[in-house]
Amino acid sequence: MHQLILLRHAKAAPDVIGGVDHDRPLTPAGVAAAEAMGRAMRQAGLAPEVVLVSTALRTRQTFAALERVEVWEERPNIDFLAGLYMAPAARMREILCDLPETVRSVLVIGHNPGMHELALELAGMAAPKPELARLQEGFPTASLAEFLVVTPWHKLSAGSAAVQRFWQPADFSASP
């Protein structure tokens, strides 16, 4: 079995006319939310071996916020992947399917709508539980979904994971 953690980037500055979406930075509230989520991850012992991060500025800054609060005792293997930028669920799943079986735990920092679509797809029609009900409502910025993956990575598909937890920044008194 494997652990998969999906983390949507924290709140980013709005688009500006003539600006480049890829280069939008986090807002101060976004930084605070990412740090709050990092502290919650550390407290829960969520310390993945591998971290896959979109190359967008807002995802890289979300990752940097996790590092500032020292989520992990041992630094994970980190990959900044252009293919995760605004990736649809199918593309994210392809990336995850290519992971070696030796990887037990992975964190993906990415974007909606693909992040939410992937989370819903993986959970499939699992037995109702509060985490799944909250996840079905949406995947706000700086939210985290943890899954237990019951198949090998290369067989990751709809319904092949069970939601373990779903956190939103508001759960930790931080602004989304």
pTM of the complete model: 0.94
- Report how far residue 109's alpha carbon sits from residue 82's, in angstroms, rounded to the nearest whole number: 12
From the CB of residue 105, how many other CB atoms can be counted at a distance below 10 Å? 17
Q: What 3-state DSSP class applies to 144? A: strand
Any residues with CB less than 8 A from the CB of 94 and at least 6 apart, and which?
A: none
Residue the block writes with tokens 């992990």: 72
Q: Domain residues of the chain, as ranges?
A: 2-11+24-172
Q: List residues bridging with 12 in a β-sheet.
A: 26
**Helix 130-137, helix 114-123: angle, nearest 10:** 150
CATH number for 2-11+24-172 (one of 3.60.150.10, 2.40.70.10, 3.50.50.60, 3.40.50.1240): it is 3.40.50.1240
Q: pLDDT tens string for the chain (176 positions)? A: 999 999 999 999 998 777 899 999 999 999 999 999 999 999 999 999 999 999 999 999 999 999 999 998 889 999 999 999 999 999 999 999 999 999 999 999 999 999 999 999 998 766 567 888 889 899 999 999 999 998 999 999 999 999 999 999 999 864 44
